[in-house]
Structure 1
Amino acid sequence: MQNIRNIAIIAHVDHGKTTLVDKIIHASKIFRENQQFEDLILDNNDLERERGITILSKNVSVRYKDIKINIIDTPGHADFGGEVERVLKMADGVLLLVDAFEGPMPQTRFVLSKALALGLTPIVVVNKVDKPNCRPDEVHEAVFDLMFNLDATEEQLDFVTMYGSAKNNWMGPDWKEETDSILPLLDTIIEHIPAPQIQEGSTQMQITSLDFSNFVGRIAIGRLKRGTLKENTQIALCKADGSIKKMRIKELHVFEGLGKNKVEEVHAGDICAVTGIEGFEIGDTIADAENPEPLPRIAIDEPTMNMLFTINNSPFFGKEGKFVTSRHLRDRLFKEMEKNLALRVEPTDNEDKFLVYGRGILHLSVLIETMRREGYELQVGQPQVIYKDIDGIKNEPIESLVVDVPETTSGKVIELATQRKGELLVMEPRGDLQHLEFRIPSRGLIGLRNNVLTATQGEAIMNHRYVDYEPFKGPIPGRINGSLISMESGPTTGYAIDKLQDRGTFFVDPGEEIYGGQVIGEHSRDNDIVVNVQKGKKLTNMRASGSDDNTKIPPAKKFSLEEAMEYIQKDEYLEITPKSMRMRKIYLDEGERTRMAKKDA
């Protein structure tokens, strides 16, 4: 077992984690010389490539100097913390990657605290030292301070630091002296990351992630803690409720390069995939059939936000999606819960509606985007934070918000955050940027990113992470403007939109098919109004002098999925189909809306 190293790579978003893994893969010659491949090898689903973020953790292994290094690529966003918490159980050490200019960021702190608590050995990699304005030595100090604040042990504080540029394919102990390859980093991993500690006793393996194959069904992945596993032998599956089921292993695979190799037996310390086991969940233990001993289950942080998911019942339902019924929606959400540990789904008293709990807007929006690409049609309600009653006092989730912004617009950011009950803790210059840190309620963050980017001409860099529950901070002002609502169904006309421009901003273009009750724009005042955008110009054979000029309409305002989720109000739904995204009132009929508003009041 001395020739195995298990290492997880953790970093903040955009600090170069997946690029570093690419270079390690190339350095270990997994590909043939003439083989074609793309960059960001591990970000292999479309959503990850489009957004440039890692969403799912993945395993690869490389061989270097006859030692097998199992590498686990982890997400950087706190919203996908459920992924990180379970996969760190497979590692003996972590590569902490930090940007040579930005230094440790809020979400680095989140993942690092989990790794240190598990007693993993850290190696710090200061990346992007080729950037202008970089400050590697200050960043090294900041990482030490962060580890000290996170109660690292003396051994962990005595960490090794490597400097380099993953993009330019070099790493070394001194940032001023460029080396010719990334191999010094692999030497450091072999030297400083301990080989797996093997305990005596019967077989134990915790299932920390799962895979799916159309041929063999669900595959359990985890690290064998002790003992050996052999194919075609009997094991015991220890489940969450304490029950133990006897099962037989069909096949065993270990990770080799970017794929898996079938083996007859796996020894303690290696990461493997097991097929043939039915009905398992993440956190279950595969144990010895005669003497089963379950491992303690993985503790996952609680979700902080929920949203109502319901079937699409708009006038346009079923036109674009394949899966539109409540049974389809229910099955898909419960299937997602099997592998997405931080997600919870609760049925409501209406069989068409489900409450879905997640870590944040991004966590929920990735699920929605994945579903729409699979052909689902659904509607979601306004995101709500989850309140807790602690000692009879209403508590709400609080987050740490970090904004780096040009000095000229920092005042606007402070104003926007404090309006939403944010409390300014730190304000310091960093290069040509102002570094601001706030404590702010989670509900204050809903819709804040859009406002901050508008106020700073898109130059602000915002990051936040969940901290704790604290007593309720009081009401926060929501969206100031009302909605423009369509009166009738049918295609919009440029003539009508042109005549209504002084009413507000439109989200639809001329000629777009819409329905009565759809939100088609933002009113310039704080109340909702119903408008007719189907009205055409009355045509006569008389020409009116001066009034037949061409209409000039500004382009419609378009929203991304997250922006639309943050924009909608309590009485609105977001309708999502594979091709379209529309905002609408829950009650499409104006008379019914008025009745329900009176009832709620």
Structure 2
Amino acid sequence: MLVAALDYDNYLGQIAIGRIFRGSLSFRDSVAVLGRDGVVRPENVENVFIFKGLERLPAQTVQAGEIVAISGIAEISIGDTIADPYEAEALPSIEIDEPTVMMTFGVNTSPLMGREGSRCTSRMLRERLLRELRTNVSLRVEETASADEFFVSGRGELHLAILVENMRREDYEFQLTVFTREEFIGTLSESLADRLAQMTNMDNDGNGNVKMEYLVPTRGLIGFRSWFLRATRGNGVIDNRFVEYRPMRGEVKSAFSQSLVASEPGVAVTYGLLNAQGRGSTFVEPGTPVYEGMIVGMHPKEDDIVINVCREKKLTNMRSSTADVAKRLSPPVKMRLEEALEFIATDELVEVTPLNFRLRKKQLSAGVRLRQRSRDRQRETVGV
């Protein structure tokens, strides 16, 4: 039998699911488990189940061709072979894709922490992530230097987004930041795609260094070198050479997508959101609680804009002819979780609760962010 899927039961423990290719299997049988490393270890099968529709029914004996579930083997993984202990022969293993995207799952540190979810502590978060490892074999969970944060790696954005949605429905509350397995590749690929670049080759040396080759129009490289040095924080090397003349095609995108950041805590009001929509698109509607450092919208400029969406219109004794005309707000932009994860920058994260997910700056104080950015620019100037 080749293990193709895993399940877990609080009473039965780890459950292995797969198809029997040869022979038969009965409950309480002694078997041999052959792992990916070639090690053979003896085990005992405690329970055997067959599938009928959506039901899982107990069985005494199962034959070749049946898809079954068995319990009693604690340390088992997808791709392992369960065989006769006297004729242990491994079946071709199932290859599991390596993780490509990493997220940091951390305890929610926003001012709204605990209002919408009951499971907010690091102990609860750790137990839930470790429990996921029992059935989600392509997931990786690593401890960090902080007891409140964990590195979680998956096969892609959708793989991790499913885990996040499941945890939200289980009343967990936490915050996320996103990394790619090879740093900067996602950012570079997105920027070069906007510059009409075509990838021709990509090589990975196995040590975290990636060589990427593109065909890029010369006009697409205008301003790219300085952006490249900032985006890779001085860790990247760029070189270019002329290939040939080609007909001009397409338009190089030059728009940036940056954040509108709330400047103070409170409740968003129509007047404040009207001012924000004069700068870009908003993510919240009137009556939404906000806090300093929360991202309330986006705009097509190069730097973030700090704005007060809680600001109310001052009352005066003077009225214009149009003073009482109702002003209408544009509908707020409602991002899906995958879109939010794609939108956030390196200094931002996603706050996840059972009722909502919000975008925010890692450092909530605008003054602290400004001083940090000034120090970073000084380091870039002196080459540190």
User: Which category of TM-score, normalised to the shorter sequence, fits these structures?
Assistant: 0.7 to 0.9
1:566 to 335, 339, 342: 342
1:480 correspondence with 2:292 = no
Q: Distance in 1 between matches of 2:307 and 2:60?
A: 70
Taking the TM superposition and a 5 Å limit, the aligned residue runs for 1:336-351 are 336-351=132-147
1:544 to 314, 319, 330: 319
Shift of 1:510: 1.0
**What is residue 334 of structure 1 aligned with on the other side?**
130
Q: Distance in 2 between matches of 1:484 and 1:503?
A: 8
The 1:285–1:500 alpha-carbon spacing in structure 2 relative to 1, beyond 3 Å, is closer
Supply the AA of the counterpart residue of 2:198. G
Taking the TM superposition and a 5 Å limit, the aligned residue runs for 1:105-116 are none
The 1:484–1:343 alpha-carbon spacing in structure 2 relative to 1, beyond 3 Å, is same
Residues 292-301 or 569-578, more deviating: 292-301
1:521 correspondence with 2:303 = no
**What is residue 362 of structure 2 aligned with on the other side?**
586
| Cα deviation digits, residues 429-455 of structure 1 (max 9, x gap) | xxxxxxxxxx798xxxxxxxxxxxxxx
SS at match of 1:555: coil
Supply the AA of the counterpart residue of 2:33. L
**What is residue 510 of structure 1 aligned with on the other side?**
286
CA contact (8 A) 2:79 2:95 kept: no
1:381 to 177, 193, 211: 177
**What is residue 219 of structure 1 aligned with on the other side?**
15
- Structure 2: where are the runs of 5+ without partners? 203-208, 215-227, 232-252, 378-384
| Cα deviation digits, residues 301-349 of structure 1 (max 9, x gap) | 3222222222211111111112212222222223323322332222222
Supply the AA of the counterpart residue of 1:236. A
| Cα deviation digits, residues 121-170 of structure 1 (max 9, x gap) | xxxxxxxxxxxxxxxxxxxxxxxxxxxxxxxxxxxxxxxxxxxxxxxxxx
Q: Give the alignment's TM-score, normalised by structure 1.
A: 0.50
- Greater helix percent: which structure? 1
| Cα deviation digits, residues 105-135 of structure 1 (max 9, x gap) | xxxxxxxxxxxxxxxxxxxxxxxxxxxxxxx
CA contact (8 A) 2:262 2:296 kept: yes
CA contact (8 A) 1:301 1:342 kept: yes
SS at match of 1:338: coil
Shift of 1:255: 2.4
The 1:305–1:565 alpha-carbon spacing in structure 2 relative to 1, beyond 3 Å, is same
CA contact (8 A) 1:361 1:383 kept: no
The 1:590–1:334 alpha-carbon spacing in structure 2 relative to 1, beyond 3 Å, is same
1:492 correspondence with 2:268 = yes
The 1:521–1:440 alpha-carbon spacing in structure 2 relative to 1, beyond 3 Å, is farther
1:471 correspondence with 2:247 = no
Shift of 1:518: 0.3
Higher relative contact order (CA 8 A, sep 6+): 2
CA contact (8 A) 2:114 2:173 kept: yes
1:596 to 372, 377, 380: 372
Shift of 1:498: 2.0
The 1:497–1:588 alpha-carbon spacing in structure 2 relative to 1, beyond 3 Å, is same
- Structure 1: where are the runs of 5+ without partners? 1-204, 388-394, 402-414, 424-438, 442-468
Q: Distance in 1 between matches of 2:344 and 2:120?
A: 22
**What is residue 249 of structure 2 aligned with on the other side?**
none
Residues 330-339 or 487-496, more deviating: 330-339
1:369 correspondence with 2:165 = yes
Q: Distance in 2 between matches of 1:218 and 1:488?
A: 49
| Cα deviation digits, residues 338-386 of structure 1 (max 9, x gap) | 3223322222222222222222222221221122112111211134242
The 1:364–1:422 alpha-carbon spacing in structure 2 relative to 1, beyond 3 Å, is farther
Q: Distance in 1 between matches of 2:70 and 2:254?
A: 50
The 1:417–1:499 alpha-carbon spacing in structure 2 relative to 1, beyond 3 Å, is closer
Shift of 1:520: 0.6
**What is residue 299 of structure 1 aligned with on the other side?**
95
Shift of 1:539: 3.4
CA contact (8 A) 1:382 1:572 kept: no
Shift of 1:587: 0.1
Question: How large is the Cα RMSD of the aligned pairs?
Answer: 3.1
The 1:380–1:416 alpha-carbon spacing in structure 2 relative to 1, beyond 3 Å, is same
Shift of 1:488: 1.0
Q: Distance in 1 between matches of 2:260 and 2:53?
A: 55
1:268 correspondence with 2:64 = yes
**What is residue 530 of structure 1 aligned with on the other side?**
306
| Cα deviation digits, residues 185-220 of structure 1 (max 9, x gap) | xxxxxxxxxxxxxxxxxxxx2222122344433321
SS at match of 1:306: strand
Q: Distance in 1 between matches of 2:44 and 2:254?
A: 56
CA contact (8 A) 2:255 2:301 kept: no
| Cα deviation digits, residues 43-88 of structure 1 (max 9, x gap) | xxxxxxxxxxxxxxxxxxxxxxxxxxxxxxxxxxxxxxxxxxxxxx
SS at match of 1:381: strand
Q: Distance in 2 between matches of 1:241 and 1:416?
A: 41
Supply the AA of the counterpart residue of 2:212. F
Q: Distance in 1 between matches of 2:304 and 2:345?
A: 11
Shift of 1:513: 0.5
Shift of 1:292: 4.4
The size of the alignment, in residue pairs, is 331
1:278 correspondence with 2:54 = no
The 1:256–1:496 alpha-carbon spacing in structure 2 relative to 1, beyond 3 Å, is closer
CA contact (8 A) 2:8 2:134 kept: no
**What is residue 3 of structure 2 aligned with on the other side?**
207
The 1:318–1:440 alpha-carbon spacing in structure 2 relative to 1, beyond 3 Å, is farther
1:324 to 102, 120, 129: 120
Q: Give the alignment's TM-score, normalised by structure 2.
A: 0.76
Q: Distance in 2 between matches of 1:219 and 1:254?
A: 12
Shift of 1:242: 5.7
CA contact (8 A) 1:383 1:566 kept: no
